[in-house]
Amino acid sequence: MIKLVEGLVCSTMAGIFAVATLVLLLSPLAGAQPWQYCGSSAQYSPSSKYRTNLDAVLAALPRNATSSSALFATGAGPDDRIFALALCRGDGDGPGCLSCVAGAFQYARVSCPYDKEVAVLYDACFVYFSGQDFHRTTANVGQITLRNTPNATGGDAALFARQVRALLDGAARRAAYGTRRMFATARMYNGSVAAPVPTLYALTQCTPDLSRGDCWRCLEDLIVKSPLDGRTIGARTAGVRCGYRYENYAFYWGEPMLNLGMPPPHTAEATAGSRSGERTPINVETSLRSGANGLTAPPLCPCRWTLESEVAGETNTNPWQVAAAAAITTANRNPDAAACEKHDGEGWPRRRHLRPLPGLFRQPGSGGGRAWGRKGEARVLLFVGKKRKLRIVSIVVPVLAMVLCIFCIGWVRRLGKGTLVKVALEGQAMTNSAGNEDISTLLRIQDADSGFTLFDFSEVMDATDKFSEERKLGQGGFGSVYKGQLPNGLQVAVKRLSTHSHQGFVEFKNEIHLIAKLQHTNLVRLLGCCVEGEEHILIYEYMENKSLDFFIFDSTKAGLLTWRKRLNIIEGIAQGLLYLHKHSRLRVVHRDLKASNILLDNDMNPKISDFGLAKIFSSNSIQENTNRVVGTYGYMAPEYASEGVFSIKTDVYSFGVLLLEIISGNRNAGFYQHGTFFNLLGYAWMLWKEGRWFELVDASLPDQDQKLEILKCINIALMCVQESAVDRPTMSDVVAMLSMETMSSLPQPKRMESYPILYLAV
């Protein structure tokens, strides 16, 4: 069996170009890529089981890393255990990642034949495999350090070292806490063109299965221990969990996510140009807030150094406000031409256009864009490509006297028929003057590295053949689900909410706000949504094998699920819940875990779905209360069903019920046929205490050598469904118990006397 755990991170709009974090110490070198490490601790024979497992894992990893939005995957094989990792840099894309990872594994086999531990580093990717399980720890083992030659000459070496460290610290914090993909790029201006290295560029990255805190600690440990002596103009240090790199040239793709320092003066003139005939707007990325923090950010377009003299005179005192205001002024004065077109200075992008946006941020009744420091009405332009509508969303923006609290982020998201620019305002209450909250709700969830997309209703209609019955996959309480296909061939699941269901819309917004911010290989991926009039539609990745209940409760299809497949499903669900409860950026209680909400991909890997009832749980709270008990009877914990008290232990209870259903092939709800026990839980406990647990096992499972594993899972399930939440394990405990080789140290469930009375399944 091969178990693959993919990570999460959205690939950027830039193209191929990626690098990774590597493993195992090499001496400093300046040679060409690739760099490899051949472990000397152990070797395998060509005919060994290790070789067979290695072939299987390495064959699957390139494909899984490429299909992951994180460009990251890990794998493990059974018996002679093999653990492997593949990671591409966060600014790469799928095809480039696939080519690099496949080539790296091939190179590993040639350069280090029969070594059990091998690492290969390219500028585009990193791969590593070992007989030791490095997946379960956060230790950044097997570090590699590379230094560039020649070294920097002249200047203040101590000052230069401090600048490098400040750059790396900023990039590390951005990777750990500022991006979803645990990847960041940064640039630091050293203030003078006469400096030995006028501009420095850095990159930091963690494997996306780390928590944010672990990522920060890993990078900081690397930076603190790195030999930054002030003479090396470029270096990198990396390990199996995190790594950094800095150079005196822009080695990554696209604009940096973080800018530090002040750029040197530049005298080059920018030339105005006519707007593009294709009407394709460029990515607009302006951070006024960063100016208040002493950082610099590109203004609305790279015309910072071509401001008129009266504006340039003010630049030293308030450059971030004046530059943006001047760019807006220029756009308003020249409605038929771009405000600025090209700038060849160091660090600025070439051929960057600001589309003519008449009235953008112009205060109504004012003659220009520079009088925007007072409280007034601003306008945010939402442009959708060639064949789509142009919408203007009016908002009220209160502006304090000393600080402009407007922070605009726009970006370009390619779709099938055009280019979409989405604008988000952080820290501001966004309401449409027409009373339509849909657009503002959606805009607030966007961020620069989100994979979330706003679809046109016409696109959804085309994808589902106008919601034809032939495309219909099923129907629930709040709407129907259809199979769809996008113009690029991608198959999707389209959930169309009932237009008359208020609760359905509440769940729609809840799901967007939650799952769009959560990414894990065992959570279903929300690709986007569509809002038009009363239509509220969610678009998910399509799962070929439908849901778990489709198999385990069908006497014919249940035979397709061997015990190994069922155990893989159990472990995957446990990993998904552990991510929600502990490792995600939000601490989430699902509240509706059940067999029909576990979707199965082509390889029968589980993905938790339907987050409409999920709740964000305070990290300081043990439990919380709700006045509205929602969910599915039969899976509800007793304290939640009777008192409305929920916690992470609520999900643990549901997991225990689901585990018993997977083992037995019977539903908890409607289980009446066994004497006085009105549900599956009571029946399972009766068999357990009488030593007849094997009678619980699904008859479609043939006699195998997995009896101890099945017994272990029944033990864990009964612990999860204990009446008192205090007695139930956490999902961290569950994952640990599932990995135990024996049952000798496994706790026993407490006696369950009240199940026949309390749990009449509905």
C-alpha 262/C-alpha 244 separation (Å) is 23
Q: Which of 150, 153, 148, 165 is nearest to 204 (CA)?
A: 165
C-alpha 628/C-alpha 631 separation (Å) is 10
C-alpha 323/C-alpha 314 separation (Å) is 9
Helical segments of 690-744, H only: 707-720, 731-738
Q: Looking at 435-583, which runs of residues are DSSP E strands?
A: 453-454, 472-476, 479-485, 491-497, 526-532, 535-541
C-alpha 298/C-alpha 318 separation (Å) is 14
Q: How many helices (H) and strands (E) does the chain have?
A: 18, 29
C-alpha 93/C-alpha 47 separation (Å) is 36
Rounded alpha-carbon distances, angstroms, from residue 483 to 68, 434, 745 = 21, 34, 47
Element (H, E) at 72: strand 72-77
Backbone angles phi, psi at 264, to 5 degrees: -70, 155
Sequence-ordered list of residues with C-beta below 8 angstroms from that of 694, at least 6 positions apart, any chain: 707
C-alpha 434/C-alpha 717 separation (Å) is 52
Question: Is 662 exposed, middle or buried, given 0-12, 13-18 or 19+ CB atoms closer than 10 A?
Answer: buried
Looking at this protein, which amino acid is placed at residue 223?
I
User: Is 34 in contact with 120 (CB distance < 8 Å)?
Assistant: yes
- Residue 306, strand partner residues: none
User: Is 184 in contact with 557 (CB distance < 8 Å)?
Assistant: no
Can 592 be counted among the known catalytic residues?
Answer: yes
Sequence-ordered list of residues with C-beta below 8 angstroms from that of 70, at least 6 positions apart, any chain: 6, 7, 8, 9, 181, 208, 519
Sequence-ordered list of residues with C-beta below 8 angstroms from that of 514, at least 6 positions apart, any chain: 586, 588, 611, 614, 616
Question: Is 360 exposed, middle or buried, given 0-12, 13-18 or 19+ CB atoms closer than 10 A?
Answer: buried
| CA pseudo-torsion sign 50, 52, 55, 57 | negative
Sequence-ordered list of residues with C-beta below 8 angstroms from that of 110, at least 6 positions apart, any chain: none
In 10 A of CB 317, how many CB atoms? 8
C-alpha 229/C-alpha 529 separation (Å) is 51
- Count Cα neighbours of 660 within 13 Å in the Cβ-side half-sphere: 30
User: Is 338 in contact with 356 (CB distance < 8 Å)?
Assistant: yes
* End-to-end Cα, the chain, rounded Å: 38
Q: What angle do CA 274, 275, 277 make, to 5 degrees?
A: 115
Catalytic hit among 592, 610, 651, 698:
592
C-alpha 634/C-alpha 618 separation (Å) is 26
C-alpha 572/C-alpha 76 separation (Å) is 14
Element (H, E) at 409: strand 408-414
712 marked ligand binding residue? no
User: Is 735 in contact with 726 (CB distance < 8 Å)?
Assistant: no
| CA pseudo-torsion sign 754, 760, 761, 762 | negative
Q: Which residues are annotated as a binding site for ATP?
A: 495
Could you list the active site residues?
592
Q: Which residues are annotated as a binding site?
A: 495
